[in-house]
Every structure is written in structure tokens, then in C-alpha cells.
């Protein structure tokens, strides 16, 4: 079955970076876009960006441009999201999601990775 | 990009119907048919329940239905059940080639 398995929780100091992985199984990884979404404590979901299926083209939400980098390794069916210059308000649960191109919805989600930014 | 506007909470008794609204703009909800709804139980990954405004994925109860008028989309849950108690989020594709989520609605089953 389709699975997106994310890396474990992270505790980071302000100003540092975090890189989260999302390993896909049960489907052809390169045929699907990977999106990243986060949820701060007590807050709603926030779409962060996408890395597109065949081209690897990335689109990021404007507020994160310059700090977020989404990559993928098709040989290991793994997506990555790196967030730099971490601030306390980056403390959140981070999810990876998949989308079949041109369907515009997310049909499978990772289990989430908690990132805590604290000194 | 501001979050789509949803009511913070909606309550109903078992067997009743409730409707959750999701208001955006002419650059997102009003512009595209790509409005999606997710059900989120705490501690679990969100679950897709409606896509393309009104379509249900296989396996999703027909008690869930979606619609849209102008810049506002709606999710209706009929014959409310205890298991429907969860957070619900809408999302829409936007004219900036991005996506925007709603602010989230907590459904309480009384």
C-alpha cells in the first residue's frame, strides 16, 4: 500500500537548519508531486510548497522563499524539505503529501515530523 | 496569501446535518474547481474526503458532500455521527500556482 514515512522529531536552536525526509513506497515515486505542509501548535494547516514529479521544479510559498529548499532523490524514492534560519515560530508538525499531477488534491500524507525550535 | 475563512467550530447532535463554509477570493475558491476538504483527527494524518468541490474518493461515506457558490465552498455532513468529531480543513488551488488552506473548523458532536 501507499506509504509516506517521515524522519523523526527534531529539536533545533534558533538560527540553525533542519532537513526532514519523506520516504515513499507502494507507488512509482517519480510519477507524483510531493508537497509539504506544516501545522504550528494550536494553528491550522499551512501549505509550504511543492516539488513537481517529472521536472523537479519547485514552487514555494512567498513567506518562506529564501529559507526553504525542497529536493528529492528518485533513486531512493525520498523527498526532502530543508528549512534554514529557524525561528521559534517555525515550531510545528511538518507533513509531506503526494499529488498525482493535475489532480490538485493530496491523496496520501506522511505521519508528520515535529520540529521544535528552542534555545 | 491569507488563509481561507472557515468558522472556528460547528456543533450538531447525532443524526443532524451540519454545514461548514470556506470563503476565499476570486483568485482561489472562486477561480477554480480545485477545492478539497480534509478530515483531521488529532494525532493522525489528515484524510481526503472531498475533491474537485463535490467528488468523494472511494471509501468515503456519502454522508459527506461538497458544493461551491462564487467564492464560498461548503462541506455538509449529513446524519452526523460521533466519529465525525474532528477538525475539517478546506484547501484551494490559487492563481499563483500555490495552494491555500482554510483556517480549520472543529466539529463537535453533542
Q: Does A103 touch chain B (CB under 8 A)?
A: yes
Nearest Cβ partner for B89 among A35, A44, A105: A44
Structure confidence by residue, pLDDT tens digits, A12-71: 999 999 999 999 999 999 999 999 999 999 898 999 999 998 899 999 999 999 999 999
Per-residue pLDDT tens digits for A73-107? 999 999 999 999 999 999 999 999 999 999 999 99
Pairing status of strand A33-39 against strand A58-60: unpaired
More reliable by pLDDT, B67 or B2: B67
The whole-number pLDDT of residue B64 equals 98
CA–CA distances in Å: residue B76 to residues A69, B68, B70, B80? 37, 11, 17, 10
Q: Which residue of B has its CA nearest to A63?
A: B1
Q: By CA distance, what is A37's nearest residue in B?
A: B101
Q: Is A114 on the interface with B (CB under 8 A)?
A: no
Q: What is the pLDDT of residues B37-87, one digit of tens each?
A: 999 998 888 999 999 999 999 999 999 999 999 999 999 999 999 999 999
What residues pair up with A22 in beta bridges, in sequence order? A6, A79
Amino acid at each position: 500500500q501507499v506509504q509516506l514515512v517521515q524522519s523523526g522529531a527534531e529539536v533545533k536552536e534558533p538560527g540553525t537548519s533542519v532537513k526532514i525526509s519523506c520516504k515513499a513506497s507502494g507507488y512509482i515515486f517519480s510519477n507524483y508531486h510531493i508537497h509539504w505542509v506544516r501545522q504550528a501548535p494550536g494553528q491550522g494547516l499551512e501549505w509550504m510548497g511543492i516539488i513537481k514529479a517529472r521536472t523537479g521544479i519547485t514552487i514555494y510559498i512567498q513567506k518562506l522563499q529564501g529559507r526553504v529548499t525542497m529536493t528529492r532523490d528518485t533513486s531512493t524514492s525520498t523527498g526532502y524539505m530543508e528549512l534554514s534560519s529557524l525561528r521559534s515560530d517555525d515550531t510545528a508538525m511538518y507533513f509531506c503529501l503526494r499529488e498525482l499531477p493535475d489532480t490538485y488534491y493530496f491523496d496520501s500524507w506522511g505521519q508528520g515530523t515535529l520540529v521544535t525550535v528552542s534555545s | 496569501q491569507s488563509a481561507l475563512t472557515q468558522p472556528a467550530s460547528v456543533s450538531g447532535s447525532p443524526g443532524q446535518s451540519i454545514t461548514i463554509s470556506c470563503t476565499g477570493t476570486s483568485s482561489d475558491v472562486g477561480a477554480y474547481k480545485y477545492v478539497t476538504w480534509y478530515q483531521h483527527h488529532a494525532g493522525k494524518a489528515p484524510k481526503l474526503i472531498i475533491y474537485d468541490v463535490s467528488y468523494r474518493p472511494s471509501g468515503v461515506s456519502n454522508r459527506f458532500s461538497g458544493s461551491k457558490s462564487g467564492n464560498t465552498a461548503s462541506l455538509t455532513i449529513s446524519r452526523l455521527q460521533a466519529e465525525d468529531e474532528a477538525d475539517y480543513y478546506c484547501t484551494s488551488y490559487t492563481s499563483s500556482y500555490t495552494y491555500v488552506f482554510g483556517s480549520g473548523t472543529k466539529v463537535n458532536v453533542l
